[in-house]
A = this chain, B = another copy of it.
Amino acid sequence: MTETIGFIGLGHMGLPMARNLLDAGHAVRAWNRTAARTDALAAAGAVPAASPADAAPEKGIVVTMVADDRALEEVVFGPGGLAERSANGLVHLSMSTIAPETARRLAAEQARHGGLYASAPVFGRPEAAAARKLWICLSGSEAARARVRPILEVLGQGTFEFGEDSGAANVVKLSGNFLIAAAMEAMAEIAALAEKSGLERSAVIGMLARTLFSCPIYQNYGAAIAERRHEPAGFRLALGLKDVDLALQAARSAGSPMPMASLLHDRLLSAVARGRGALDWSALALGAGEDAGLPARR
């Protein structure tokens, strides 16, 4: 069954996701902060909306996929924001990577006005989004989850549910990004050790990524780290720092220290301070090399 779906945020991730909704036969009303990005989607059949509120279908679903907590709050509470349409059953399907507490607050606000809110952050890069290969974490009220499940099937290869707490899916998303960053730092440290010991960085990481750690995270990031290849950015380092900080903030609220996340925060902040915020976040690996007196460039 198809329907009209609102889609807000046509960035590297949002655009291919919205396309997939169109391809699946849904009508899409799209809005983006910088209007130029809506044109491509309009050519594929989407209807440009004048504001987030204008994109929201009556009693329908509106997907948000924006850069960070602040952008999402602007989309909801700013002028022409979704809050104007919360009443009467609007379903906010919130897929951005944001803080669990932001998700909980938005869900509570939405509920107060009679709407529904589902948290559904995703794992995957733009190519995965285009290929419907995203992994999706879902949480929120049973009513909200029931309403959005069919949509998520169109967007990803699998959805994992984490119960009623609207912040839960965000905890999982931030945990996953933290796990990736931790694996990258660990590989960075052995790459530096290898180089300083006279071994080939690629040989060491390659061996481990073909045996004990034969999964794409180790294989792809491992190759980038071994070769110091951090452009173009698949995921910008400055955003990686933002996500590790969100994890630390969630850990602060929950009362759960994360020393490894603290270490990653320091590494990523140092990389930003050295002007690497626009590189791929695997560039955090340059820090371990510099600490060992190695040059940052090949």
Binding site for B on A (CB under 8 A): 100, 123, 135, 137, 158, 160, 162-163, 165, 167-168, 171-172, 175-176, 178-180, 182-183, 185-187, 189-190, 192-199, 203-204, 207-208, 211-218, 245, 247, 250-252, 254-263, 265-267, 269-270, 272-275, 287-288, 290-293
> Would you mind naming 9 contact pairs between A and B with Cβ atoms under 8 Å apart?
A137-B207, A158-B211, A160-B207, A178-B189, A182-B186, A193-B254, A196-B256, A275-B293, A287-B291
The 4 residue pairs across chains A and B that have the minimum distance between CB atoms: A262-B262, A273-B293, A182-B186, A175-B190
Task: State whether A199 touches B172 (Cβ < 8 A).
Answer: yes
Q: How far is the CB of A148 from chain B (nearest CB, A)?
A: 18
Q: Cα distance A252–B270 when bound, in Å? A: 10
Interface majority SS (helix, strand, loop, mixed), chain A: helix
Task: State whether A262 touches B265 (Cβ < 8 A).
Answer: yes
**Number of copies of chain A assembled together:** 4
Task: State whether B263 touches A292 (Cβ < 8 A).
Answer: no
Q: Cα distance A273–B262 when bound, in Å? A: 17
Task: State whether B193 touches A187 (Cβ < 8 A).
Answer: no
Q: Cα distance A251–B289 when bound, in Å? A: 12
Task: State whether A273 touches B256 (Cβ < 8 A).
Answer: yes
Task: State whether A273 touches B259 (Cβ < 8 A).
Answer: no
Q: Cα distance A192–B251 when bound, in Å? A: 9
Most B C-beta atoms less than 10 A away, residue of A162, A252, A261, A269: A269
Q: Cα distance A187–B180 when bound, in Å? A: 11
Task: State whether A193 touches B273 (Cβ < 8 A).
Answer: no
Q: How far is the CB of A212 from chain B (nearest CB, A)?
A: 6
Q: How far is the CB of A187 from chain B (nearest CB, A)?
A: 7
- Given contacts A255-B269, A291-B266, whether A193 and B171 have CB atoms under 8 Å apart is yes
Task: State whether A168 touches B186 (Cβ < 8 A).
Answer: no
Q: Cα distance A269–B215 when bound, in Å? A: 30
Q: How far is the CB of A86 from chain B (nearest CB, A)?
A: 25
Task: State whether A266 touches B270 (Cβ < 8 A).
Answer: no
- Given contacts A270-B257, A291-B266, A292-B255, whether A197 and B168 have CB atoms under 8 Å apart is yes
Which residue of the partner chain B has the closest CB to A195? B256
Cβ-defined partner of A292 (8 Å) among B137, B192, B270, B287: B270
Cβ-defined partner of A176 (8 Å) among B208, B274, B287: B208
